[in-house]
Amino acid sequence: MKIAIGSDHGGYKTKEYIREWLDSEALPYSDFGTFSDESVDFPVFAHLVCKSIESEECNIGILVCSTGQGMAITSNRYENIRAALCWNKKIAEMSRRHNNANVLVLPGLYISEQESVEILKDFLFAAFEGGRHQKRLNLINQD
Protein backbone atom coordinates (compact mmCIF):
# COMPACT_ATOMS: atom_id res chain seq x y z
CA MET A 1 0.00 0.00 0.00
CA LYS A 2 1.25 3.48 -0.89
CA ILE A 3 -0.67 6.50 0.33
CA ALA A 4 -1.05 9.87 -1.39
CA ILE A 5 -1.63 12.74 1.01
CA GLY A 6 -2.53 16.35 0.38
CA SER A 7 -4.20 19.34 1.94
CA ASP A 8 -4.89 23.00 1.52
CA HIS A 9 -3.92 25.60 4.11
CA GLY A 10 -7.00 24.76 6.22
CA GLY A 11 -5.88 21.15 6.56
CA TYR A 12 -2.13 21.70 6.70
CA LYS A 13 -1.65 21.12 10.45
CA THR A 14 -3.77 17.97 10.37
CA LYS A 15 -1.87 16.69 7.32
CA GLU A 16 1.43 17.21 9.11
CA TYR A 17 0.14 15.35 12.17
CA ILE A 18 -0.97 12.46 9.94
CA ARG A 19 2.42 12.42 8.19
CA GLU A 20 4.15 12.08 11.56
CA TRP A 21 1.91 9.10 12.36
CA LEU A 22 2.57 7.52 8.94
CA ASP A 23 6.30 7.91 9.57
CA SER A 24 5.99 6.33 13.02
CA GLU A 25 4.21 3.34 11.47
CA ALA A 26 6.65 3.13 8.53
CA LEU A 27 3.75 3.41 6.08
CA PRO A 28 4.89 4.61 2.64
CA TYR A 29 3.36 7.82 1.30
CA SER A 30 3.84 10.67 -1.13
CA ASP A 31 3.11 14.16 0.17
CA PHE A 32 1.60 16.34 -2.56
CA GLY A 33 1.42 19.47 -0.39
CA THR A 34 0.62 22.07 0.58
CA PHE A 35 3.79 22.68 2.54
CA SER A 36 2.72 25.64 4.71
CA ASP A 37 -0.39 27.26 6.12
CA GLU A 38 -0.35 30.05 3.51
CA SER A 39 -3.58 30.33 1.52
CA VAL A 40 -3.79 28.02 -1.52
CA ASP A 41 -6.50 26.63 -3.81
CA PHE A 42 -7.75 23.24 -2.60
CA PRO A 43 -8.52 21.74 -6.06
CA VAL A 44 -4.82 21.77 -6.98
CA PHE A 45 -4.04 19.27 -4.21
CA ALA A 46 -7.13 17.13 -4.78
CA HIS A 47 -6.12 16.76 -8.44
CA LEU A 48 -2.54 15.79 -7.56
CA VAL A 49 -3.67 13.10 -5.12
CA CYS A 50 -6.35 11.70 -7.44
CA LYS A 51 -4.04 11.62 -10.44
CA SER A 52 -1.49 9.66 -8.40
CA ILE A 53 -4.16 7.07 -7.66
CA GLU A 54 -5.44 6.91 -11.22
CA SER A 55 -1.86 6.42 -12.48
CA GLU A 56 -1.37 3.69 -9.82
CA GLU A 57 1.60 5.51 -8.28
CA CYS A 58 -0.46 5.34 -5.06
CA ASN A 59 -3.54 3.32 -4.21
CA ILE A 60 -5.05 5.17 -1.23
CA GLY A 61 -5.51 8.92 -0.79
CA ILE A 62 -5.92 11.23 2.17
CA LEU A 63 -7.09 14.80 1.66
CA VAL A 64 -7.68 17.43 4.33
CA CYS A 65 -9.24 20.88 4.14
CA SER A 66 -11.34 22.91 6.54
CA THR A 67 -14.70 21.21 5.90
CA GLY A 68 -13.63 18.45 3.51
CA GLN A 69 -16.44 19.32 1.11
CA GLY A 70 -14.33 20.94 -1.59
CA MET A 71 -11.81 18.12 -1.60
CA ALA A 72 -14.60 15.51 -1.81
CA ILE A 73 -16.43 17.31 -4.61
CA THR A 74 -13.25 17.70 -6.66
CA SER A 75 -12.07 14.14 -6.07
CA ASN A 76 -15.35 12.50 -6.99
CA ARG A 77 -15.18 14.00 -10.47
CA TYR A 78 -12.60 11.30 -11.30
CA GLU A 79 -14.16 8.11 -12.64
CA ASN A 80 -12.05 5.73 -10.55
CA ILE A 81 -12.03 7.74 -7.34
CA ARG A 82 -14.47 7.08 -4.54
CA ALA A 83 -13.78 9.85 -2.03
CA ALA A 84 -15.52 9.66 1.34
CA LEU A 85 -15.83 12.64 3.65
CA CYS A 86 -15.48 11.09 7.10
CA TRP A 87 -15.77 12.74 10.49
CA ASN A 88 -15.82 9.63 12.68
CA LYS A 89 -14.37 6.13 12.75
CA LYS A 90 -17.56 4.25 11.86
CA ILE A 91 -18.19 6.30 8.72
CA ALA A 92 -14.60 5.69 7.65
CA GLU A 93 -14.88 1.94 8.22
CA MET A 94 -18.21 1.64 6.39
CA SER A 95 -16.96 3.79 3.51
CA ARG A 96 -14.32 1.14 2.88
CA ARG A 97 -16.46 -1.93 3.63
CA HIS A 98 -19.50 -0.92 1.57
CA ASN A 99 -18.25 1.70 -0.91
CA ASN A 100 -14.64 0.60 -1.43
CA ALA A 101 -13.63 4.23 -0.92
CA ASN A 102 -10.06 4.89 -1.99
CA VAL A 103 -9.74 8.50 -0.82
CA LEU A 104 -10.36 9.56 2.77
CA VAL A 105 -11.38 13.20 3.07
CA LEU A 106 -11.12 14.78 6.50
CA PRO A 107 -12.66 18.03 7.78
CA GLY A 108 -9.63 19.43 9.58
CA LEU A 109 -11.56 22.26 11.21
CA TYR A 110 -14.10 19.92 12.83
CA ILE A 111 -12.01 17.05 14.18
CA SER A 112 -8.93 16.98 16.37
CA GLU A 113 -5.57 15.83 15.07
CA GLN A 114 -5.83 12.74 17.28
CA GLU A 115 -9.29 11.96 15.85
CA SER A 116 -7.89 12.28 12.32
CA VAL A 117 -5.44 9.44 12.98
CA GLU A 118 -8.08 7.25 14.64
CA ILE A 119 -10.39 7.78 11.65
CA LEU A 120 -7.51 7.05 9.27
CA LYS A 121 -6.70 3.77 11.03
CA ASP A 122 -10.25 2.50 10.57
CA PHE A 123 -10.21 3.61 6.94
CA LEU A 124 -6.88 1.98 6.13
CA PHE A 125 -7.53 -1.35 7.79
CA ALA A 126 -11.16 -2.03 6.82
CA ALA A 127 -11.65 -4.40 3.89
CA PHE A 128 -14.19 -4.05 1.08
CA GLU A 129 -16.94 -6.66 1.49
CA GLY A 130 -17.72 -7.03 -2.22
CA GLY A 131 -20.86 -8.99 -3.11
CA ARG A 132 -23.98 -6.84 -3.19
CA HIS A 133 -21.82 -3.78 -2.59
CA GLN A 134 -19.81 -4.40 -5.78
CA LYS A 135 -23.07 -4.63 -7.72
CA ARG A 136 -24.02 -1.20 -6.41
CA LEU A 137 -20.62 0.28 -7.21
CA ASN A 138 -20.95 -0.99 -10.77
CA LEU A 139 -24.10 1.14 -11.13
CA ILE A 140 -22.37 4.43 -10.27
CA ASN A 141 -20.75 5.14 -13.63
CA GLN A 142 -23.59 3.86 -15.79
CA ASP A 143 -25.40 6.28 -18.07
DSSP-assigned states of every residue in 18-58? HHHHHHHTT--EEE----SSS---HHHHHHHHHHHHHTTS-
pLDDT of res. 137: 86
Question: Residue 8 pLDDT > 70, yes or no?
Answer: yes
Question: Residue 33 pLDDT > 90, yes or no?
Answer: yes
Cα dihedral 48/62/65/18 (nearest 10): -120
7 half-sphere exposure, CB direction, 13 A CA radius: 23
Question: Residue 31 pLDDT > 80, yes or no?
Answer: yes
Separation between Cα atoms, residue 94 and residue 100, nearest integer Å: 9
pLDDT of res. 130: 80
Which one has a higher pLDDT value, 111 or 141? 111
Give the confidence band of 64 by pLDDT, cuts at 50, 70, 90: very high
Would you name the residues annotated as active-site residues?
Answer: 98
Give the confidence band of 42 by pLDDT, cuts at 50, 70, 90: very high
Task: Using alpha carbons, list the distances in angstroms from residue 61 to 32, 38, 47, 132.
Answer: 10, 22, 11, 24
Which domains, from first to last, does the chain contain?
A: 3-140 (3.40.1400.10)
pLDDT of res. 140: 84
33 φ/ψ sector (left φ>0, alpha ψ -120 to 50, else beta):
left
Separation between Cα atoms, residue 4 and residue 49, nearest integer Å: 6
pLDDT of res. 143: 64
Give the pLDDT mean for 91-104. Answer: 97
Question: Residue 141 pLDDT > 90, yes or no?
Answer: no
Give the pLDDT mean for 47-73. Answer: 98
